[in-house]
């Protein structure tokens, strides 16, 4: 491994006061506002503009793969160029791919998104562990061996999530709380630095206590990275990030996508700077 591990790189971002994750979600209507076609070239333009504006300001970018995948091979080629730009800019990339499968197939997804030298290599990926936390083994190996990162869906921001994620397992834990505890336990057993390589996704729109997650309780061991979408367009206010995430908020990546992208390339840098300063202030009380 030539680069510091994902957890160490995240720790450096947090130490520099960077907690914003700028989403790259090339929705058709947003591309119209960009003055480009709803095609792979348009998605690439938006992605590369976001990378340029986010470098040194946001902690990471999060391309949502579905918006590239819909253009087939051309979409993947476009995404490869966006990823290359981000690497060059030194920006962390969370590939929002939400992959999950039986372990043997899941390992191939981990190879795609996390293997060093893969055309689609990112620093971290979003994963789904509803087939059992153990199915993530192939990716957990990449976290340990290659210094990559994972974000396991735990309590997602969409209103339909409650029926599954608030359900109680045979061991009495909610599905969401078990994802958080399993991720924290993995970090406690394997991580060497102050921030673990395995994080969770917790929607910013939620009352996390309804999912059995007590944000006042800091998990033992290395900090648990939390990727929090739901700010901006979905209604959560980034200014409330400290209150919503409490004791687990110190390793927070606050994501906004449409609220940053809406408005096109004009003013993009200002919007990213403004959101980055807002989340920094919300979490630390320190102005940018
Ligand atoms: O894993 C995610 O990123 C994710 C999890 C979740 O619970 N909710 C959620 O909105 N997301 C993603 O976060 C982004 C939110 O976009 P905006 O609502 O436009 O800010 C989208 O790319 C979603 O796919």
Q: Is residue 71 part of a domain?
A: no
Does the residue 169 lie in any domain? yes
pLDDT value at 172 more than 70? yes
pLDDT at residue 215, as a whole number: 84
Give residue-wise pLDDT tens across range 25-81. Answer: 999 999 999 999 999 999 999 999 999 999 999 999 999 999 999 999 999 999 999
Measured by CA distance, the residue closest to atom 7 of ligand 1 is 156
- The domain tally of the chain equals 1
Mean pLDDT of the chain: 95
Confidence check: pLDDT of 256 > 70: yes
Whole-angstrom Cα distance, residue 255 to residue 20? 6
Do the domain assignments include residue 233?
yes
Residue 129 lies in a domain: yes
Domain holding 155, by residue range, is: 6-16+93-281
Expressed in angstroms and rounded, the spacing between residue 231 Cα and the centre of ligand 1 is 9
Determine whether the shortest distance from the Cβ of 66 to ligand 1 is under 6 A.
Answer: no
To the query of whether residue 148 is one of the catalytic residues in this protein, the response is no
Domain-embedded: residue 267: yes
**Alpha carbon nearest to ligand 1 atom 4, residue:** 229
Q: Looking at the domain assignment, is residue 265 inside a domain?
A: yes
Structural domain includes residue 165: yes
Above 90 in pLDDT, residue 1?
A: no
CB of residue 256 inside a 6 A radius of ligand 1: yes
Whether residue 230 lies inside any domain: the answer is: yes
Q: Which of 33, 211, 230 to mutate to test the pocket of ligand 1 (most atoms within 8 A of CB)?
A: 230
pLDDT of residue 60: 98
- Testing ligand 1's pocket by substitution, the residue of 94, 180, 237, 257 carrying the most ligand atoms inside 8 A of its CB is 257
The CATH number linked to 146 is 3.20.20.70
**Residue 250's pLDDT is what?**
85
Q: What ligand 1 atom has the least distance to the C-alpha of 155?
A: 7
Q: How confident is the model at residue 99 (pLDDT cuts 50, 70, 90)?
A: very high
User: Can you tell me which atom of ligand 1 is nearest the CA of 255?
Assistant: 20
């Amino acid at each position: 491994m030539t680069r510091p591990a994902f957890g160490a790189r995240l720790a450096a971002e947090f130490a520099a006061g960077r907690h914003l994750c700028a989403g790259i979600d090339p929705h058709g209507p947003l591309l119209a506002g960009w003055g480009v076609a709803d095609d792979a070239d348009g998605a690439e333009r938006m992605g590369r503009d976001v990378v340029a504006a986010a470098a040194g300001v946001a902690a990471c970018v999060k391309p949502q793969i579905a918006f590239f995948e819909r253009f087939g091979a051309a979409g993947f080629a476009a995404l490869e160029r966006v990823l290359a730009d981000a690497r060059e800019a030194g920006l962390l990339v969370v590939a929002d791919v939400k992959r999950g499968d039986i372990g043997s197939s899941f390992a191939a997804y981990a190879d795609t998104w996390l293997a060093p030298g893969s055309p689609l290599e990112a620093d971290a990926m979003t994963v789904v562990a509803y087939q059992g936390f153990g199915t993530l083994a192939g990716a957990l190996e990449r976290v340990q061996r290659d210094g990559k990162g994972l974000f396991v869906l735990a309590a997602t921001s969409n209103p339909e999530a409650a029926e599954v994620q608030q359900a109680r397992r045979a061991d009495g834990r909610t599905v969401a709380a078990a994802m958080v505890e399993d991720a924290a336990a993995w970090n406690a057993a394997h991580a060497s630095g102050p921030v673990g390589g395995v994080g969770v996704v917790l929607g910013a729109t939620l009352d996390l206590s309804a999912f059995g997650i007590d944000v006042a309780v800091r998990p033992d061991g290395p900090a648990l990275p939390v990727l929090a979408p739901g700010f901006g367009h979905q209604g959560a206010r980034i200014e409330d990030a400290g209150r919503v995430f409490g004791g687990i908020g110190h390793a927070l990546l606050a994501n906004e996508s449409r609220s940053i992208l809406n408005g096109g390339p004009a003013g993009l840098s200002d919007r990213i700077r403004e959101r980055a300063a807002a989340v920094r202030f919300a979490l630390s009380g320190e102005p940018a």
